[in-house]
Amino acid sequence: RNHLIPARPTAFNLSPHSSAVIVVDMQNDFADSQGMFARAGIPVDGIRAVVEPTSRVLDAARHHGMLIVYLVMQFNEDLSNAGSADAPNRQRHLAMGVGQQVVAPDGRASRVLIRETWNTKILDELAPQHDDVVIPKHRYSGFFETNLDSVLRERGIMSLVFTGCTTSACVESTLRDAFY
């Protein structure tokens, strides 16, 4: 059934079956004390503060049958999808150590923002469940060169609820592209 959301400037109805929660970049490199942000001197306290509320949102969404989509920032091992040598995306990420070898908390070898490593793993507290969708991305927007648009269209999704990090970059970029 629809739920009335008391928003401003006007309230609106949200249909769980045509809505999805988009969880942006809630992964170790951004939210763990041993991840890329923390190693670069960027405080992760703000991101950590939204983990528990995000967990509650996911529980409620699952209870009401909403689709959950996780976006995960990650690059190929050879950084071939990070952009050309002078691309701003590549330069910004290289400055924060993308591709560097590190040791994960469990002692295994890992690499900063490289796919299928501890660094790009979604936080354990927010781990995807069986029916959730996980979409890798390599730019701020979850729509750039991914199948996010087709996943949402195939399921008849008309409304999106966003959570994740960071609002001023990846969340906002994905939200704006969703609007367009």
**The two structure tokens encoding residue 130:** 């069986």
Q: 171: which DSSP letter? A: I
Dist. CA 18–CA 93, nearest whole Å: 35
Question: Is 137 known to be catalytic?
Answer: yes
Q: Indicate which residue of 121, 132, 165, 170 is catalytic.
A: 170
Helix/strand/coil for 122? strand
Structural element, H or E, at residue 51: helix 51-63
Could you say which of 25, 29, 32, 132 is catalytic?
25
Q: Could you confirm whether 131 is annotated as catalytic?
A: no
Annotated catalytic residue: which of 29, 32, 137, 165? 137
Q: Is 170 a catalytic residue?
A: yes
* Nearest-angstrom CA–CA distance, 110 and 115: 10
Catalytic residues: 25, 137, 170
